[in-house]
Amino acid sequence: MNPHPYQNEETLAETVEELAKEALKRGLIPSYVVHHFPDNREFYIPNERECEPLSVEQAYLKMKRLLDNEAK
């Protein structure tokens, strides 16, 4: 059994969107934007200083870190 809920970039992107919704609900981020392209997605998670596009993998790590740190 795979311990991760994703198998490829598409399911990882779906997981990122779920994590982002949870982070929004908890007030950890003010908003997020997803740009959909034919072959990938770019996530924008603004903060007070910058808003750089993140790959699916970068967005996953950022959301996971935010939620894990908030749980501590």
Lowest-pLDDT choice from 20-29, 35-44, 46-55: 46-55
Pairing of strands 41-44, 33-36: antiparallel
Average pLDDT, the chain: 86
62/51 Cα distance (integer angstroms): 13
Q: What is the pTM of this model?
A: 0.80
Which residue intervals of the chain are DSSP H helices?
9-26, 56-71
Predicted confidence (pLDDT) per residue in 48-65, tens digit: 677 788 999 999 999 999
Long-range contacts of 21-28 (CB under 8 A, 24+ apart): 22/63, 22/67, 23/63, 23/66, 23/67, 26/67, 26/70, 28/66, 28/67, 28/70
Residue whose tokens read 């007070």: 48
